[in-house]
């Protein structure tokens, strides 16, 4: 245990060496830090990001109109109307997901700063993206994955991603669920001296800005206006943060940014028992809510992914609805894609029915599919772990107990989440961490920016927390 604590005590020193960012210079007060200054200090303007991504074939992905899905939404809509649904096909990127945008800039930054290799702790598509970009730039790559329970049973989707990372030349370190992930990650960074290609670094977020920028410009060119809404699968927050920032930089004034997650309420992501009772490894509330209410739980001192700054609305769907939408997309649009983007697509199908025929709703990502991501291994894995799979009303789904696939498209639904409750949690977490009862004007202003609330609303929340903090 002494080795564990010794290493953890050096984590800030290790982090500083692994990204060459002195996060301490952005600290302003007990709570506040200079977020926009940190983002600006990446040294990369949006034009630079787009140029760097083009060098390795990243970006400029097609925006596809899902005419058959739109027609079905109108058919089941209570009003007979539904927005035109468009899909940004990010599976066209080199490793098959939008994560190539993040990895392209991070790996470029690593090479420019003289690192010999890159390391990332991820069980998702980002590992394949980092491995792909590292191969193109001639750098070594190590991916640290959390993929097994204590019985060494691994989830099909995570194992699929590990296979892809190895195929792209990375060394993959696979671990059981638990605190050893961050410890192992730190140890690898210290032992190798490689670059921390974090999902949550300024470069990692700046790379996603090109996605929002493209969506705005493609809509303006094809339709003559910005989209009314963009639906974004939300987990750690970088996808939503980067896309929203890119939309704003492009000039979007009225586009609503809608986060969507799979509802896994009741399942603990660090639980050995719960780990294999979920059917999705990203885009779910187990990451979405904790990272929304406390962004700095990430692997860098200050996360650049801060979704509550940009989110206009947050909804959830159930696992069964995502499986249904994956199959629907394949059978009526001829596109076989993985579950990450189909989380947003399931939500968009319902949200579109709230809108008018001349309005535009964009789902901002797709991902590649493969052996472990496919519906059949996922559902078989669920059954093998005692989860009941059936057709019916998805409102009857209980995470970890059953998966209810809708028996009719009219039964797809979303659950609206209260953003104000998450804003309150974020403020509470900041107060607890700061351990102070004295707040400067800078601190209050920072909390206003973090939550998109005004000064009175923030002060009212602080007052209402009382002894809770």
3-state secondary structure of 78: coil
Distances (CA, A) of 205 to 124, 326, 460: 16, 27, 32
Tell me which DSSP letter residue 83 carries.
P
Q: Specify the 3-state DSSP secondary structure of 50.
A: helix
Alpha carbon distances (Å) from 304 to 66, 158, 247: 32, 25, 17
Distance from C-alpha of 175 to C-alpha of 383, rounded to nearest angstrom = 23
Hey, is 364 helix, strand or coil? coil
Question: Are residues 361 and 355 in contact, defined by beta-carbon separation less than 8 angstroms?
Answer: yes
As beta bridge partners, residue 154 has: 148
CA 33 to CA 312: how far, in whole Å? Answer: 23
Rama region for 382: left / alpha / beta (φ>0; ψ in -120 to 50; rest): alpha
- Residue 256 contacts residue 312 (beta carbons within 8 Å): yes
Rounded Cα distance, 71 and 57, in Å? 33
Of the candidates 290, 221, 203, the one whose C-alpha atom is nearest the C-alpha of residue 21 is 203
Q: Which two tokens stand for residue 435?
A: 């351990």
User: Tell me, what's the pLDDT at 10?
Assistant: 86
β-pair partners for 270: none
pLDDT tens track, the chain, 469 positions: 678 778 878 887 888 889 889 899 999 988 999 999 999 999 999 999 999 999 999 999 999 999 999 999 999 999 999 999 999 999 999 999 999 999 999 999 999 999 999 999 998 899 999 999 999 999 999 999 988 988 899 889 899 999 999 999 999 999 998 778 888 999 999 999 999 999 999 999 999 999 999 999 999 999 999 999 999 999 999 999 999 999 999 999 999 999 999 999 988 877 888 888 888 777 999 999 999 999 998 888 899 999 999 999 999 999 999 999 999 999 999 999 999 999 999 999 999 999 999 999 999 999 999 888 899 999 999 999 999 999 999 999 999 999 999 999 999 999 999 999 999 999 999 999 887 767 899 999 999 999 999 999 999 999 998 756 5
pLDDT at 469: 55
Dihedral of alpha carbons 268, 274, 275, 278, sign: negative
d(CA 36, CA 176): 37
Give the pairing of strands 415-416 and 313-317: antiparallel
- What distance in Å separates the CA atoms of residue 334 and residue 408, rounded to the nearest whole number? 19
**Rounded CA separation 240/31 (Å):** 23
Instruction: Look at strands 256-262 and 313-317 and give their pairing.
Output: parallel
Helix (H) or strand (E) holding 403: strand 402-406
Instruction: Please check whether residue 90 is in contact with residue 365, taking contact to mean a CB–CB distance below 8 angstroms.
Output: yes
List, in sequence order, the alpha helices (H) in 270-368. 285-293, 319-333, 339-352
């Amino acid at each position: 245990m002494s080795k564990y604590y010794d290493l953890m005590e050096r984590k800030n020193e290790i982090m500083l060496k692994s990204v060459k960012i002195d996060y301490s210079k952005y600290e302003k007060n007990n709570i506040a830090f200079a977020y926009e200054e940190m983002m600006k200090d990446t040294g990369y303007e949006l034009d630079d990001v787009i140029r760097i991504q083009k060098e390795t074939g990243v970006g400029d992905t097609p925006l596809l109109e899902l005419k058959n899905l739109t027609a079905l939404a109108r058919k089941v809509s209570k009003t007979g109307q539904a927005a035109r649904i468009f899909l940004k096909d990010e599976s066209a990127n080199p490793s098959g997901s939008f994560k190539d945008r993040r990895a392209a800039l991070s790996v470029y930054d690593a090479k420019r700063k003289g690192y010999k290799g890159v390391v990332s702790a991820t069980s998702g598509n980002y590992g394949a993206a980092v491995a792909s970009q590292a191969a193109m730039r001639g750098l070594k790559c190590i991916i640290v994955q959390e993929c097994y329970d204590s019985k060494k049973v691994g989830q099909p989707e995570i194992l699929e991603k590990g296979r892809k990372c190895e195929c792209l030349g990375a060394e993959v370190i696979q671990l059981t669920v638990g605190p050893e992930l961050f410890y192992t990650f730190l140890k690898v960074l210290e032992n190798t001296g490689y670059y921390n290609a974090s999902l949550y670094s300024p470069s990692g977020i700046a790379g996603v800005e090109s996605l929002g920028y493209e969506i705005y410009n493609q809509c303006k060119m094809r339709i003559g206006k910005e989209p009314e809404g963009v639906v974004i699968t939300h987990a750690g927050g970088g996808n939503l943060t980067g896309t929203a920032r890119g939309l704003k930089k492009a000039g979007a004034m009225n586009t609503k940014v809608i986060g969507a997650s799979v509802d896994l309420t009741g399942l603990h992501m660090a639980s050995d028992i719960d780990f294999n009772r979920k059917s999705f490894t990203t885009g779910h509330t187990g990451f979405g809510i904790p990272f929304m209410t406390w962004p700095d739980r990430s692997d860098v001192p200050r996360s650049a992914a801060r979704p509550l700054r940009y989110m206009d609305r947050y909804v959830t769907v159930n696992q069964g609805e995502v499986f249904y939408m994956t199959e629907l997309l394949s059978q009526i649009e001829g596109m076989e894609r993985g579950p990450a983007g189909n989380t947003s697509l399931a939500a968009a199908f319902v949200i579109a029915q709230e809108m008018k025929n001349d309005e535009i709703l964009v789902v901002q990502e797709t991902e590649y599919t493969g052996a472990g991501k496919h519906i059949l291994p996922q559902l078989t894995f669920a059954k093998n772990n005692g989860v009941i799979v059936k057709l019916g009303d998805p409102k009857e789904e209980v995470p970890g107990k059953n998966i209810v696939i809708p028996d009719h498209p009219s039964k797809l639904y979303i659950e609206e989440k209260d953003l104000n409750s998450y804003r309150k949690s974020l403020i509470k977490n900041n107060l607890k961490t700061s351990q102070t009862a004295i707040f400067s004007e800078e601190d209050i202003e920072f909390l206003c920016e973090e939550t998109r609330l005004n000064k009175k609303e923030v002060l009212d929340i602080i007052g209402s927390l009382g002894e809770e903090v």
